[in-house]
Amino acid sequence: MIQFFHYKGHVSTKECGEIIDNLKYKVFNWFICAYIGSKSSLSLRSTPSSRNQKISRVSSKHSSQFANAKIEQSFTLGNRCVVLSNFSQETLKVSTNPAYVNTIEHVVQSVCCTIFVNAVNEYDFLMEVFGMDAEVATTEVYRTFSLTLDITKVMFDQMLFECHDLIGLLISLSIVKRCQTLFKFKSFNRLERQFYEFFQSFWLKFHSTVLSHIQKISEYTPIYTVSFDECHLVTKRVSGVLAAIYAVLPDFEPNKLLMTFTQFIQEWENFILIQASIFDIRKEQLVYEIVNYNMVLSILSAQTHIPLVAERINIPVIYQDSSKLCSDLVKELNKRYKNMINQVCLEELAPFFERLISFTNCFTGTSNTNEDEIMELSNHFAATWKNSLMVVAVDIKKLFAPSYIDQEIKEVCMSMLIDYYRKFVGILSNHYPVMYSKLVSKDKIVDIHQILVEIKKYR
C-alpha cells in the first residue's frame, strides 16, 4: 500500500523510500533467511546408516518382479522422486511450506518454489497495479530478489559441501534445472541466468560424486563368500542410482546425464562379470548374472520418466534425444539379460534333450540322416519327456527361488522346449513322411497340447 502511494505521488519522502526498500527487500529476505536457517542445519543428512534406511524403501506403487520379495536393504529410489513429481505437476501452485524431511531435495524444492512463486506474483503485481512494461517489471523483480539469490547461493554451497547423497543431489539438480526452464519460459532472463549458475554448482558436485562412486565400483574386490543366487550389494545400490537418473534424464542434454548413465552401466556390468567369475560352474555364473541384471531392470522398468508439467506449461520431454538414447540403452541391457536366460535354459534342457536340440539345430534340409537314429530319438522323447520336465522345473526352482524369478525362467525354458519339439515334428512330417506316419500310428509323437497341459502344473 505504501508503495502504491509512493508511485502515485502521495508520499515522496526519503523515509518512505527506505520503508519501500525494506518491504521489497528485507522482509522477504528475512523470511527466506529464517527459513534457510531452520533448514541448513539439516543438510548434514544425519548418519550414513539412517540415510541408507531412508533410501532403501521401495515404493509400493512400483510393480516390479521383486514386488513380493522382502529385500530390506535394496537401496532403491523408493518414494524420493515424489518431491520431483509434486514440483512438476503444479509448479505455479505448489506449496512453499514443505514437510519437514531431512533431505537435500526437500530443501532445494522449497527454496526454488518460494523464489519462483514470489517472483511470478511480484511480476504480476507490478504489471497489473503499476502498469509497467515487461522489461522494466522483470528488472524490478530481479532487483527485488538479488539479495535473496545471493543468500540462496551461500546456502546451496554449504549444502553441497556437506552432501554426498548421490540420489539427493540428482533430484535437486533436476529441480534447479526445471526451475531454470520455467524462468526461461516466463522470460525472466536474469533469474534464469542465476539459476543456471546454481545448476552448474550442483552439476559439478554431482559429477564429482558420480566419478567417486564409479571409481569405488572399479576398485571393489570380488567377495568369495557370496552365493551365486543372491543379488550383490553393489547392484542394489547401483539400481537405485540408475533409476533416479532414468527418471530425470530427459531434463538434460545427451552429453551430460546420458554419459553418466552409460558409465555407470558399463562399470557395473564389468563388476558383475568379474564377480561371477569366482564361480567355477558356468550355470552358477549365469544364474548370478541373471539375478543381478534382473534387479537393475526391474527397478528401471518400475521407474518412469517424470515430465515437466506446470500450469500453462507442458514440456513432456525437454531433450527428446536423451530420452530415446536412454531407452535404447535399456533395451540393449534387456537384450543381454534375455540372452543370459536363454543360455541358462539351454544348460537346463541339455542333460535331457541335447540330442533333440542338436538334431533340430543341425538339420540342413536334406534327408540323409540315419532313420533308425531319428526313430530312436522320437521314441526316447515320448518315453521320458514328462519326468525330464519335472526335473527341470524343480532344478530351476532351486536355482532361482531366493530371487523370486524362477517362474520367469521356467516359462522361457518350457517355451524353448516346445519350439524345439515343434521343429522336430515339422522336420519328420516334411522330410520323413513314412516314418512320421508309423510313429503317429504307434502314439510315439507327443501332441503339443499334451505338453502344454503338463507345463501348467509347474506354473
DSSP for 361-379 reads HH--S---S-HHHHHHHHH
Q: Which residues of 68-89 are buried (b: 16+ CB within 10 A; e: fewer)?
A: ebeeeebbbbbbbbebbeebbe
- pLDDT for 72: 31
Distance between CA atoms of residues 267 and 289, nearest Å: 14
pLDDT on residue 422:
93
Residue 349 shares a structural domain with residue 204: no
All 3 cell numbers of residue 34? Answer: 529464517
Task: Report yes or no: 315 and 309 within 8 Å, Cβ to Cβ.
Answer: yes
Give me the domain span that covers residue 410. Answer: 341-456
| Alpha carbons 358 and 374: distance in angstroms, whole number | 12
CA distances from 439 to 308, 370, 432 (A): 65, 16, 11
CB 348 within 8 Å of CB 413: yes
How far is it between the farthest Cα atoms of the chain? Answer: 114
**Three-state helix/strand/coil letters over 171-231:** HHHHHHHHHHHHHHHCCCHHHHHHHHHHHHHHHHHHHHHHHHHHHHHHCCCCCCCCCCCCC
Length of the chain: 459
Residue 244, in any domain of the structure: no
Give the lowest-confidence range in 176-185, 188-197, 203-212, 409-418.
Answer: 176-185
Q: What is the pLDDT of residue 28?
A: 53
Indicate yes or no: pTM above 0.85.
Answer: no
**Residue where a domain stops, chosen among 163, 186, 215:** 215
Q: What is the mean pLDDT of residues 260-274?
A: 91
The answer to whether residues 406 and 413 touch, using CB atoms and an 8 Å cutoff, is: no
Angle subtended at Cα 93 by Cα 91 and Cα 96, rounded to the nearest 5 degrees: 85
In the prediction, which pLDDT does 53 show? Answer: 38
Residue pair 159/36 in contact (Cβ under 8 Å)? The answer is no
Q: Give the domain-ending residue among 170, 200, 215.
A: 215
Same domain assignment for residues 204 and 350: no
Q: What are phi and psi of 138, to 5 degrees?
A: -65, -35
pLDDT at 202: 95
Tens digits of residue pLDDT in 54-79: 333 323 333 333 333 333 333 445 56
* pLDDT of amino acid 304: 76
| pLDDT, mean of residues 242-267 | 84
13-35 pLDDT tens trace = 555 555 555 454 445 555 554 54
What residue type is assigned to position 346 of the chain? L
Q: Which of 199-213, 268-282, 434-448 has the lowest average pLDDT?
A: 434-448
Specify whether 351 is located in the same domain as 207.
no
Give the number of domains in the chain.
2
Sign of CA dihedral 266, 270, 271, 276: positive
Q: What pLDDT does 366 receive?
A: 67
pLDDT at 38: 45
pLDDT tops 80 at residue 176: yes
The set of cell numbers assigned to 10 is 502521495
Is pLDDT at 154 greater than 80 in this prediction? yes
Residues 352-378: what's their mean pLDDT?
A: 83
Per mean pLDDT, which range of 87-96, 211-220, 290-299 is the poorest? 87-96
Q: What is the mean pLDDT of the chain?
A: 77
In a domain, 317, yes or no: no
At 315, which helix (H) or strand (E)? Answer: strand 313-315
Lowest average pLDDT, out of 64-68, 164-168, 453-457, goes to 64-68
The pLDDT value given to residue 400: 85
Residue 59 lies in a domain: no
3-state secondary structure of 150: helix
Q: What is the pLDDT of residue 345?
A: 94
The listed range with the strongest mean pLDDT (7-16, 253-262, 413-422) is 413-422
Among residues 174, 190, 215, the one where a domain terminates is: 215
Residue 225 lies in a domain: no
Residue 287 lies in a domain: no
Quick one: average pLDDT of 102-116? 83
The per-residue pLDDT for 367 is 59
Residue 44 has pLDDT above 50, yes or no: no
Query: Taking each helix axis from N to C terminus, what angle separates 320-362 and 282-302, rounded to the nearest 10 degrees?
Result: 150
**How do beta strands 308-310 and 313-315 pair?**
antiparallel
Residue 270, domain member (yes or no):
no
At residue 443, φ and ψ (nearest 5 deg) are 55, 40
Give the Å distances, CA to CA, from 354 to 28, 350, 351.
Answer: 77, 4, 6
Read off the pLDDT band of 181 (50, 70, 90): confident
Residue 277 forms part of a structural domain = no
* Average pLDDT of span 287-305: 88
The whole-angstrom separation of Cα 103 and Cα 55 is 10
CB 243 within 8 A of CB 302: yes
Residue 326 belongs to some domain of the structure? no
